[in-house]
Structures are given as structure tokens and as C-alpha cells.
Structure 1
């Protein structure tokens, strides 16, 4: 049989074991994706950092609601006796103005030069910032600012003038707050009432009254341009400091108003040509203003604006300033005189009519009329002779003029030639020293003389020795002039004062000056006036005589011509003149009967001519 053939078993082909494929390499992220991721991270951290920085910068941000009612320094306005503006201090605000009451050119001037896009932006003007940056870079210096009117208002209302990143951020935040709180017209109204415009003035009305003597409602386009030009540099550009710079800046504002369509070119040119500033009040009256303000804190109603009509006579003050400067520039300079002071008061009341405390208030505000204490020399002899008159002496009585010796002290008589005996009137008229010492002894000695001086208003202190007869005490010019008033008014002691009327925010304030009080008898005052008349008629004060006017007074000169005085009375006034040097260096032959008496006469003549 055939062999069975076993079927062949077919082996499955050998298959290589399946191995897991290796993981595909990660795809590389594109550059754009990476940049986007980094940017997102940076933005996130930038927002965080910005938020933190904002919190830090705004940490001490003032509450706008509180700052809108911020307090200010009450203003004090001083007027001369005729109502002319004399001086201002504190924060001077005028009447609150409303936009609809102002001429259109007033707000237009500020918008044209400060913020042309004011009506379009939301408090921050990015276009203006870019434009200012380009202009400044091109010019190589800062010629334009990028702050909007709203930002300026925020700074003025809430912030300090500090220049820092913190303040600029706070200013921006507050500007945004103001824009969300007020309309554009309201913002402009607040700005025009609060913007600082130099010389202590805030708001257009106060500045209009100070610089032009008119309310804001009557400002011309040219005047409005002057005010609109001030916010950039109010201290440097205001008309009181630099009129020419103020006009140049006003022309820039007028040109800007033409560019914005607020004015035509022809009108702008006419307004530029018409620009004029009223004369500023005298700067040298600053000594008087300072003296008046010294006692205000004790008498003024707290926290209220004060307007004081003073006793100052503008014409007499002008005459004092002009003649004093002329003397110091001319004959005074040749004689080594560098300073002088003048005071004039009303003899009946003590009202101060004129005061010059030196040559130039701007260079030296020290008041030589009220603060400098100097020896009066023979000008003090009036009180020596007064004491003698009170003790019963008469101008016709005789007194020896020969040498005198008191305990080794023997005063000289200068160029006076001894006559033996002369009348008390002649001794006074010619200022004979030895006779004055004998008159003092007849009066009761140094104590009696000191008492007489104090009785008429000279405060002292006084030496308790015989040299008091020759004026070795120290006095101020104002005190000396005041003490002469009883001789002119019939015997009443007065106190000097400078305020005639006071008003606090329009309401009258009681401000009564001290009342005169009897100090010497009318007969004693008449005797003194008679002897002082002789001084001018035939004595040492002849240079003070004014034709057609009764003048009386007394000269005074200290040792080595260090001080020269003339105290005189005429036309209801008592006026005193002092000449000398601050360091007490001697003058060259200047005596009380020379330059001081001449200055007294020149002032009276100039004042009379001014009234003619």
C-alpha cells in the first residue's frame, strides 16, 4: 500500500515582533506663537506693575470734593486817602464772574493761547502733547506746554507747584475727575475765577482791577490778551514787574486769537497798539504799607478779606519820594549822604500823610522812619525848652551863653560867638549848646526834661545826665515828629495812625484811631511855636522858609555830622527829615540847617505845586 503521506503543515511566516514606534519629535513652535506668549505675559505683568504704580502715585491724592472748598489767605487791600490803590497782600480775589457776563474775547483769549482743543478733549490732550513735544525738540528748548486748561485747573485747585512724576500723574487723574464732574462751561468758569495771574491776584476780575482799574466785564480784547498771557509765568510777565514783557506776551496771545478766528488781524493790530497800563502805585510807599500792616492781626476780623482806606496823601507822598531821591542823587551824594527818611503827620489828629523809610524800598525795605533809632542832637532841645516853659520861663528871659562846666563835662558852641547873655528865644533859634544846658538846669534838670518829652509822646529811654540837653538819647523819626505835634495843635498829644476806614468784605469795621489828649497848655504850645518860628526866621533853620507860608521848626546835628535833622510844622502838618548813613559814617559838613531844612522846603513847595 502506498505510504500515507502526512500533510505538510505550513508554518506561519515569522513575523518580527511589533515594537512600538518611537514617539514623534515634538513640533517646534513658530516664532510668532512664542512672541505672542511673551507679549501676553509682559502685558499681564505690566498691568499689575501699572496698577501698583498707580496706587503708589495716587496714594496721597487729595479728595477733590474737599479741595474745591480749600481755604486761602485773606487779602488785605490798602487804599490811599483819595481811594487810589496803594498795596495788596494775601490772596486777592475779585468778584466771582460768570461766563455769560464776560465779553466773548476774554475766554477766547485763554483758550487760544492755553488750550485750543479745550472743547474737544476729555481732560488730557494727547495731540497737544505730541505737538508740544515736536515744537520743543525743534526749538531745542521748552517753548510750549502740553497741559490742558483742565489740568491747570486741577493743579491750581488741588496740588502744589512741585515738578515730579507723582504730581503729573495726580494732575492727570484729577483732570479726568473734573471732566466727569463738570461741563466745559463750568470748568472754564472755575478756571477764570481761580487762575493765578500774578501780584497776589487770583481770577480775571481781581487781575483786571489791579492791572487796568476795571472789572473783568469791561476788559478790551487787548487787556484780555495781557491776562491770558500771564499763566505761563505770572511773576515774570505781569505788568507791575515787566510791562514790556507783558506787552510782548499779549501780542503772542492776539496772534493766537487771530489763528483761532476769535479776532481779525486788523482788530488784533489795533488792540496791540492801544495797550496801556495805568501808573502803578508807588513802590516806595511800601514802608508805609508795611507799617500799617504790622498791627492788623490783632484788629482784623479773622478769615475775611479786608479793605483799608489809609491816611496817606498820594500827592504829598509823591513829592516826598521825588525830592528825597533828587537830593540824595545830587547834593547828598557829593556830601557823602546815602540815606534819608521823611515822615509827615496831621498835627491835629496824628494821621500819617507821608512816609519814606529810605531811598529805595525795593533794595532796602528797612524802615528808617520807624525802626532806626538815632541820636536827635539839637532837635531834642525842644523838650528842654518846653520843660523850662513849664517851670515858668518865658522866651524873653535871658540866659548865659558862655562856657559851662558840669563835673568835668563842658560842651562846645561850635561857631557861636559868646555874647554873655541872650534871650531864651535867641538861644533856641541859634541852637546855643551852653545856653541849652543852663535852660535845662532852670527847668529842673534831666528828670524834668525827660518827663516833658514823655508827656508829649516821646517814649525814651533817656539818659539821666546833663548830656540829655544836647540830644544824646536815641529816637525814631516817627516818634520825634509825633512829639512835636502838641506844639502845632495847641497842646494835645496825638498817636500816629495810618487807617482812616476799614471794611471786611464790604461791611464797615470799627477802626477808631486813638483820640488826642491834653499834654501841655495852649499858652505853652504857643510859646514853643513862637521860638520855633524864630529858628526859621533868623536862626539855624532859615533854609526851610517857604514864601507865603508860616513855617516853624528845629534843626539837629549830631557829633561829627553823623545825623542831620529838621523837624518842622507848616499848613497843619508836622514833617520830619533825617539824613545820614546806615553805618553812621560822618557826612561832609551836613548839618540840620542845611540839606534837611532844604529838603523840608522843597517837599512843601512840590506838594503845593501839585495841588495848584
Structure 2
């Protein structure tokens, strides 16, 4: 039996059957559909790729923006921290703005100003408290420099904005827009470079200053620190320099406006250097003061008309009359002040002290002018000049009246007058040989001394020219400056007694100097003209000692005494020894080796000194050091001449008579 499969019922659309012709007709259609489908697929893929690429760029941009924002935030944070900490660190590491810096003044014996020392600002300053300054003076500076000073926190943003606009227009950094606090920050801690870093630092310090100090303190410091031209800092020093006024309350309106106009351009707006430009700038300041209601129109117009006339103080400073420079003496004064007070040189210069000295202008000028005379220095070489130094002391009180540390000294140069570096030669004989012998009581001016060629152990002194008399009186031995008797006398008196005698005269000898050759000035280190002059003052002052000094007293800015010199006049040797020595030394000048030191109207006592060059291949007449130390009834002085470095090309052919002649030339003009 056959079973026939019956197909299930189906809802599917029965397959269409196409003829061959129909099939050929539909192929292009199908190909077109497939092409469109393919195009659609490709376009979809490309679109998807573009969308993916776009999304990637967007995400990458977002990442970059995030990274950039993080960097910016970090930079802003670092900048903020720098702004906050830099200024505070600078203030901690530097002196407070409230420190009162003023130039110390040095006066001569007549009370005239020798110099004002440069303060910490490298200029000249006189501090003034804010309550010393008249209201109109403060208003003038505020109106000109920072009208919103009491309203801002150190940075005047309105002024800064205006300056930025001007800088953009001018394409430079000429407009600072600095507040008074910023100017103070720059003056105290920074330089004047117009760079962005300096500006940021300035702003940082200004903010820190405003946090730490009151407005009045900042204004006071600014008015004392601001540069006012002519090497002057601060309004008080400027008022004295330009108007001869010490009390700021005495300033007139036109003078106040003149001062307020200077900081804009100190070298061109100060009235001494350019009175015309100063007057123009003053008019600008007065206009600003009028616009801000500080002065009336009438006051403005009257103050504009005033013409500047330099005060007598300024005229005298610029006078063509010769004035002593005091260069070496000023250095010595500062060093002495440091030793007396324990303060550093830098502190002294800006302490505002007044240092009263015994320096005498006539003596100092005479010394400086004679030192400029080439006729005194015949051994000058083409490549090096002979040097010289000199000190004059009043033996009655020890005051130094004049000092030269070189032929043309400048501040800070080596001071040959105070430097223990030269061999005194025979000028040392009264100190080490004849004085101790007289003081012992065993010898007098007529004592007979041995004048023979004698060997003392390994040392054998010789007389100049090899001549010996066998015996000679002390007076003759000193007058002729014979060597052998001086050594013999020192040996007889004893080195210990000689050492003590020299110490009484202010010359301390070390162990290396305790030998017989010291009778002829052979010292290990040498001695200074200052110490030689001081030693001879004891002979000139009846055996009484006064420490050589330049300073009489020191007062502070308020006139209170910091130091006052006390009289000494200590009897250190017998009056008889001093008188006998004076008589013998007067004989040296009147009839002996010191005859060129004679002065009309004065009896001079003194002694020459010469040390030989003793160089191989150089003539025996060549000398290293030339000395004369002498005194009248008023003053004692010591002169040294020679080359700083003696060698085969640089030595003295002149004798000690050249030093004696220089002494006389100076003292003839210097003595009152």
C-alpha cells in the first residue's frame, strides 16, 4: 500500500517562479539594489568612523583642557604662594622699615662739618619722625605719588590699570603705577630694573609691608628713604641740602612742592642741577594739590612764581676756595669710633651721630698742599712715586690736628700714618737708648759714651763712614747721630729698662724686638708715624703721656653724649728726663742732622732717621726709609718718606734732610 505524503499547510508566500527573460531583466535591478545597499553600508561605516573620530577629538580636547586647567590652577597656586611668602621672607631677613637711618657727621676742631658719612643707602640721610613733618609736606607727596595711599592695601589697582593701559599704548614698561608702599619696597629690597619678575617681587613685598606695619610707619619710612638727588636720601636731608632748612616746619609751600616733585626724576628735577625743570615740575605738583583741594588757587599761583636761590650752606659746599679733604683722617676717625663704642663701621656711618674731633683745618690744608708739591719728592720714578705720611699732635692733650696717609690719599686707601710697617732708624734712639739711660739716673747729657767698633755676640754695629772717636758725650752722639754710642748705651742700660721706657711712651716691643739692633731702629714689624709722634709728645709735655686720638666726643641724633674724652696727662717719665731730652733734641735741629727742620719764631726739637736699602748691586747711599720727628712748644709731628716697596729700581737717594724739610714746610703754614 502506498502512502502519499501530504504537505503541511503553510502560510509562507509561495515562491515565485520567473522565466529566464524575467530573470535577466531583474539582474540589473538587483545589482542596483545591492550597490545601493553597499553604498549605504559604506557610508554608514564612514559616518560611524567620523563620529568615533569626532568623539575621540572631543574627549582628547576635554582631557587637554582638564590638564591645562590643572596646570593653570597649580601655577596660580604657586604664584599665590610665591606672592605671599616672598615678601614676608624678605621682610624677615632685612632690617625693619622703622629703623632710623641717618648719616653720621664729623666736625673739625672749629665745629665746622668735615663730612657726612654715607648711610646704609649709600647716600646721605637725616631721619625725621612723621610728627616732625608738616601736614602740607605729607599731603604734597601723597597728592603727587599716591593719592589713594590710605585706602589701598599696598597695591593701587586703579593706578596699576591706568599704567597697564599706558604701557600697552606705548609698547613698553615706562609706566609703573607703583604705590608709595611699592616704591618703599623697591627702595629697601630691590633694584630699579623694569622687569616682570622685579614687579611681582615688589608687589609681594608691598603686600607684606602693609600686613606688618601701620600706614603712618610706611609713609614715615618712605619719606626718609626716598632718593632726592645729589646723593641725598629723605626729605629732611633734602631740605637742608637745597634750602638750608633743618626744621621741616619752616618750609614754605613752594619749597614743599619743589621737594615733592623731585622723586619723579631726582637727577633732573632737583633745583641745584636744573632750577628751570625743577620749577616746571613744582608747578605740576601745585596743580595736583589744588585739584585735590589741598591748597587754594591763590596759594598755587603764588608758589609757582617763586625763584630758587641756593642757600649759603650749598654755596659754601660748592665754593672754589680750597678746602681740606681729610681723607686719611676721616678713615682714622671712623676706626677710632668703632674701637671706642664697639659698633661696626657700617652702623656708625648710619647712626646719625655727630663726632667732634680735634682736627684743625689750617693744619690739614697746609699738609695736603705741601704733599702735592713735587719739589719735596725728588726721587720719584716714571712708574712709581715716592710716598709719604705725616701726623701732627697737640702734646698738651693728645689731639691729632692733621693727618696724611699718602701723597694723594682717597677714602679707603692704605693709611701709612697709622700702619706699623716702617723701620724708624735713628729717630728711635731717643725712645730706646737715650731716654732710658737718662731715666735710670746713671747718665746725663754730658755723660761720656764709648764710640768704638765693638762686637756684641753675633751683632757688630758700625758708624756711617767707618769713623770712630773712642769716646763722645751723649749730646754730641745724639746731635751727630752716631751709631756705636747708642748701641753701647742700650747695652749698659739694659733691654728690660728700655722696653719699659718705650711702653711708657706708647710703643710696645715684642720679644722679637728685644735685641741691641733696636737701638738703631731695627724693629721686627716696624712702627707708624702716629706712634712715633705720640712717643715724642712725652718729651714735649714734661714727661706726661696723652693717648694720641682724633675724637673729642660723640653725640647721638638727640644730642646725648655717647662718648666724651677724658683728660689723661699721666706722668710716665720724670720731667727732668723730658727736659734734658728736649735740650739735646733742640741741639740736633739747630746744629745737627735736623737743621732743615728749623722754623722762624719757634725752637724745634727733633731727630732724623734713615734706614739703608741694603740691596745687592745697589749703591750704599741708597735708602729705604727717611724720617723726621720733632716738636715745638705747641705741636709734635712725625714725617716718613719712601717707596711702598723698595727694590733695585725703587729706592731713596735723598737723605733724612728731605723729611726734615717737609716737616718745616708744613709746620710753617700749619701752626696757629
TM norm. shorter chain > 0.5: yes
Residues 156, 178 of structure 2: 8 Å contact kept: no
Structure-1 separation of matches of 2:69 and 2:667? 82
- TM-score normalized by structure 2? 0.69
Residues 377, 470 of structure 1: 8 Å contact kept: yes
Write the mapping of 1:34-183 to structure 2, written as runs, cut at 5 A: 49-50=75-76, 52-62=78-88, 70-71=98-99, 76-85=104-113, 86-88=115-117, 90-91=119-120, 92-96=125-129, 101=134, 123=156, 125-126=159-160, 127-128=162-163, 130-131=165-166, 147-156=178-187, 159-161=189-191, 165=196, 167-172=198-203
Structure-2 separation of matches of 1:494 and 1:201? 39
Structure-2 separation of matches of 1:419 and 1:245? 75
- Cα displacement (A) at 1:385: 0.9
Residues 80, 314 of structure 1: 8 Å contact kept: yes
Match of 2:28 in 1: none
Match of 2:422 in 1: 374
Q: 1:132 to 1:232 in 2, by over 3 A?
A: farther
Write the mapping of 1:158-557 to structure 2, written as runs, cut at 5 A: 159-161=189-191, 165=196, 167-172=198-203, 191-196=222-227, 202-209=233-240, 214-215=245-246, 217=248, 229=262, 247-248=272-273, 252-258=277-283, 276=315, 278=317, 282-298=326-342, 306-327=353-374, 331=378, 333=380, 337-362=385-410, 365-383=413-431, 384-391=433-440, 392-401=442-451, 403-407=453-457, 409-414=459-464, 421-441=471-491, 443-461=492-510, 463-473=513-523, 474-504=526-556, 505-513=558-566, 515-557=568-610
- Cα displacement (A) at 1:523: 0.9
- Cα displacement (A) at 1:357: 2.1
Match of 2:14 in 1: none
- Cα displacement (A) at 1:284: 3.8
Q: For residues 379-419 of structure 1, what are the alpha-carbon distances to aligned partners after superposition, in whole Å with 9 as ceiling and x for unaligned?
A: 10112111221233222334454544444644343358655
Q: 1:562 to 1:186 in 2, by over 3 A?
A: closer
Structure-2 separation of matches of 1:529 and 1:62? 68
Q: For residues 250-288 of structure 1, what are the alpha-carbon distances to aligned partners after superposition, in whole Å with 9 as ceiling and x for unaligned?
A: 765444334556699996875599974615864343332
- Cα displacement (A) at 1:205: 1.0
- Cα displacement (A) at 1:123: 2.6
Question: Which SS does the other structure have where 1:59 is aligned?
Answer: helix
Structure-1 separation of matches of 2:257 and 2:494? 69
Question: Which SS does the other structure have where 2:601 is aligned?
Answer: coil
Question: Which SS does the other structure have where 2:590 is aligned?
Answer: helix
More off after superposition, 58-67 vs 485-494: 58-67
Q: 1:188 to 1:465 in 2, by over 3 A?
A: closer
- TM-score normalized by structure 1? 0.75
Structure-2 separation of matches of 1:181 and 1:229? 28
Question: Which SS does the other structure have where 2:184 is aligned?
Answer: helix
Structure-2 separation of matches of 1:45 and 1:176? 25
Residue among 653, 661, 667 paired with 1:598? 661
Structure-1 separation of matches of 2:610 and 2:335? 27
Residues 109, 253 of structure 1: 8 Å contact kept: no
More off after superposition, 216-225 vs 340-349: 216-225
Structure-2 separation of matches of 1:346 and 1:132? 65
- Cα displacement (A) at 1:172: 3.1
Q: 1:562 to 1:103 in 2, by over 3 A?
A: farther
Q: For residues 146-180 of structure 1, what are the alpha-carbon distances to aligned partners after superposition, in whole Å with 9 as ceiling and x for unaligned?
A: 544442024346x4449674552353366579899
* Correspondence 1:579 to 2:641: yes
Residues 553, 566 of structure 1: 8 Å contact kept: yes
More off after superposition, 512-521 vs 263-272: 263-272
Q: 1:450 to 1:356 in 2, by over 3 A?
A: same
Structure-2 separation of matches of 1:549 and 1:170? 68
Unaligned runs of 5+ in 1: 1-21, 29-37, 239-243
Structure-1 separation of matches of 2:513 and 2:219? 67
Residues 99, 189 of structure 1: 8 Å contact kept: no
Unaligned runs of 5+ in 2: 1-43, 45-50, 55-63, 288-299, 614-622
Residues 95, 206 of structure 1: 8 Å contact kept: no
- Cα displacement (A) at 1:318: 2.5
- Cα displacement (A) at 1:557: 0.9
RMSD: 5.0
More off after superposition, 161-170 vs 59-68: 59-68
- Cα displacement (A) at 1:337: 4.5
Residues 378, 470 of structure 1: 8 Å contact kept: yes
Structure-2 separation of matches of 1:211 and 1:425? 62
Residues 243, 310 of structure 2: 8 Å contact kept: no
Q: For residues 41-70 of structure 1, what are the alpha-carbon distances to aligned partners after superposition, in whole Å with 9 as ceiling and x for unaligned?
A: 999986785455223332333299998764
Match of 2:12 in 1: none
- Cα displacement (A) at 1:470: 0.7
Q: 1:111 to 1:541 in 2, by over 3 A?
A: farther
Match of 1:564 in 2: 626
Q: For residues 121-142 of structure 1, what are the alpha-carbon distances to aligned partners after superposition, in whole Å with 9 as ceiling and x for unaligned?
A: 97353434554676685xxxx8
